Amino acid sequence: MPSAENQGDPPLLIERDGNVVTFTLNRPEKLNALSTRLRRALADAFEAIREDESVHAVILTGSGRAFCAGVDLKELGGEVDSSEVDFEADVMGALADCPHPILAALNGLTVTGGLELALGCDILIASREARFADTHVRASLMPQWGITQRLPGLIGPSRARQMSFSGNFIDAETAERWGLVSQVVEPEELLPAARTLAADIASADPAALRALKALYCETALGTQGEGLAREREVSRRFMRGVAPEQIAARRGEVQARGREQNR
């Protein structure tokens, strides 16, 4: 059985520029799929800056042609050494606990758990080459990172269900028109635009920023908290009946469908 992760390059790149920290998902050959190693690194990185008051803003982006393809389906499908796989790292909890504004710079494919990861950020900016899809049902999975609660609030329940039920991709212009992202820029302008906005935000009163973000989050959880708990409950119950072999069989179909829709 193959190893869960190549231990060469770091799965997450961390860069600091003044009061702004940039986290870059760094599994480009795997479309930045969230392996155990990457999930741990991302959760640890957000935890490390949680109490750091010198950080005023965070940028989250991906390397290569994808922002993030979601959880690594080879791990869910039992196609890697199970001794190297765990799902203990609470990535979405780490994002939720981050008191600093988080900007998602969506450089490419933003799919399923990757879309949920983006939705856990405060501001979403997309490259014109970005593509978005929720393929949970195509992969015989149930979401548990909040898409059923967050996506309808951004694009409306009908469009959210269209994305989730079909698993089809939408382009960056559609995502902006629907309200999924706040801005679309040319690929080469994505990181400069994100850094400019992050620096602008970072120049505000940091204590006021943290208090305002906490207020936004508190307001959202007042309407989403029960829904998020219910989503996790349904996901756990559903996934107990899904064999790893079923996910492994579906993985190829999901990948082929994505390639066809993004030619």
Residue bearing the bigger pLDDT, 163 or 225? 163
Dmax (CA) of the chain:
52
SS3 track for 181-212: CCEEECHHHHHHHHHHHHHHHHCCCHHHHHHH
Q: Are 123 and 74 in contact (CB under 8 A)?
A: no
Residue 234 sits in a domain whose CATH number is 3.90.226.10
Highest mean pLDDT among 20-29, 208-217, 248-257: 20-29
Query: Is residue 250 one of the residues assigned to a domain?
Result: yes
pLDDT at residue 25 in the model = 98
Best-predicted range by mean pLDDT among 22-26, 226-230, 247-251?
22-26
Residue 81 lies in a domain: yes
pLDDT at 6: 53
More confident residue, 3 or 122: 122
Question: Looking at the domain assignment, is residue 3 inside a domain?
Answer: no
Q: Is residue 205 part of a domain?
A: yes
Mean pLDDT (whole number) for 1-17: 76
Q: Give the pLDDT score at 3.
A: 47
Could you give the CA distance from residue 185 to residue 230 in angstroms, rounded to a whole number?
Answer: 36
pLDDT digits (tens, 9 = 90+) for 227-242: 888 888 888 888 888 8
Sheet harboring 109-111: ordered strands across? Answer: 66-68, 109-111, 131-133, 170-171
Report the distance separating Cα 120 and Cα 23, nearest Å.
14
Q: How many CB atoms lie within 10 A of CB 47?
A: 15
Does any domain span residue 45? yes
Number of domains observed in the structure of the chain? 1
In a domain, 173, yes or no: yes
Confidence (pLDDT) at 14: 98
Q: What is the pLDDT of residue 263?
A: 83
Answer whether residue 223 shows pLDDT above 80.
no
Nearest to 179 by CA among 133, 123, 139, 225: 123
Residue 96 belongs to some domain of the structure: yes
pTM: 0.87
Q: Tens digits of per-residue pLDDT, 80-132?
A: 777 777 888 899 999 999 999 999 999 999 999 999 999 999 999 999 999 99
The tens digit of pLDDT for each residue in 44-66 reads 999 999 999 999 999 999 999 99
| Helix 157-166 / helix 147-155 crossing angle, nearest 10 deg | 130
Question: Where in the sequence is the domain holding 160, given as residue range(s)?
Answer: 12-261
What is the chain's alpha carbon radius of gyration, rounded to the nearest angstrom?
18
Within a domain: residue 7?
Answer: no
99 near 141, Cβ under 8 Å?
Answer: no
For residue 7, what pLDDT is reported? 62
Q: By mean pLDDT, which of 97-111, 184-198, 217-231 is the weakest?
A: 217-231
Q: Give me the mean pLDDT over the 17-30 stretch.
A: 97
Does the structure show a pLDDT above 50 at 1? no
Distance in angstroms (rounded) separating the CA atoms of residues 153 and 186: 26
Contacts made by residues 189-194, CB under 8 angstroms, sequence distance 24+: 190/61, 190/105, 190/106, 190/107, 190/125, 190/126, 190/127, 191/59, 191/61, 191/105, 193/105, 193/125, 194/59, 194/61, 194/103, 194/105, 194/125
The predicted structure's pLDDT at residue 122: 97
**How does strand 170-171 pair with strand 131-133?**
antiparallel
Instruction: Show Cβ contacts of residue 237 under 8 Å, excluding neighbours closer than 6 positions.
Output: none
Which residues, at least 6 apart from 202, have a Cβ–Cβ distance to it below 8 Å? Answer: 18, 19, 20, 56, 57
Helix axes 206-239, 147-155, angle to 10 degrees: 120
